[in-house]
């Protein structure tokens, strides 16, 4: 059978600042581009990643993205950034995937237990405890997580190999979509009691909606 390869298109110009108004714009990689002669410094700028985020939520973490939605000049450049704040003791960036990006993470404060799971049929956990200055890579598309093992807050920054990497949080996607997945499917897939599945669906559905 024939093979097909796909990736973000390589830019054919210096940059393609994303705009929402299609008037006089050129559509490139999911966004319209403004006239490059009208580009300004603000199109390539974001401020505020030094500000700690509130982690008072059920998982005890907050992700602050800096992608094409925040910096329109990132369009077609194939890169983005996030700051992740973790609450003390058990702050968790729960198991998730980035469908369009590999992630490289650096810890700047605290202690994190991080890992990813390889694809079927191995499903092997590759994990490590990280300290400030340590770096870890999560390959594109694989389920991964970060967990704060320390008694103080933790902070990490991560680069991603897409201007719009996307994120699929596993529990939210499985138990919280709208409309809901038939509980019988989840009972069989996860080998759970139906009442447990319905409880999880109710919990995650309200969290998502």
Which residue numbers belong to the known binding site? 93, 96, 98, 103, 144
CA-wise closest residue to 34 among 20, 47, 45 = 20
Binding site membership for oxalate: which residues?
Answer: 93, 98, 103
Quick check: 39 and 62 in contact, CB under 8 A? Answer: no
Within 8 A by CB and 6+ apart from 124, the residues are 117, 118
19, 178, 60, 168 alpha-carbon torsion, rounded to 10°: -60
Tokens for 90, please give them: 């058990």
Q: What gap in Å lies between CA 3 and CA 110, rounded to an integer?
A: 45
Mark the binding-site residues for Mn(2+), compressed into ranges.
96, 98, 103, 144
Nearest to 65 by CA among 49, 54, 41: 49
């Amino acid at each position: 059978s024939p093979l097909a390869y796909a990736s973000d298109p390589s830019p054919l110009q210096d940059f393609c600042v994303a705009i929402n108004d299609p008037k006089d714009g050129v559509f490139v990689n999911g966004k319209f581009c403004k006239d490059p002669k009208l580009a300004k410094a603000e199109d390539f700028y974001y401020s505020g990643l030094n500000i700690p985020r509130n982690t008072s939520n059920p998982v005890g973490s907050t992700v602050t993205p800096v992608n094409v939605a925040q910096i329109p000049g990132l369009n077609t450049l194939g890169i983005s950034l996030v700051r992740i704040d973790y609450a003390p003791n058990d702050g968790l960036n729960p198991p998730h995937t980035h469908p369009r990006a590999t992630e490289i993470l650096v810890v700047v404060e605290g202690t994190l237990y991080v890992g990813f799971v390889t694809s079927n049929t191995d499903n092997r956990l590759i994990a490590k405890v990280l300290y400030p200055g340590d770096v870890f890579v999560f390959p594109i598309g694989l389920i991964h997580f970060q967990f704060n093992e320390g008694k103080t807050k933790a902070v990490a920054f991560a680069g991603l190999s897409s201007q719009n990497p996307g994120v699929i949080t596993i529990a939210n996607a499985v138990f919280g979509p709208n409309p809901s997945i038939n509980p019988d499917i989840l009972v069989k897939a996860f080998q759970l009691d139906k009442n447990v599945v319905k409880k999880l669906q109710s919990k995650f559905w309200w969290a998502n909606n």
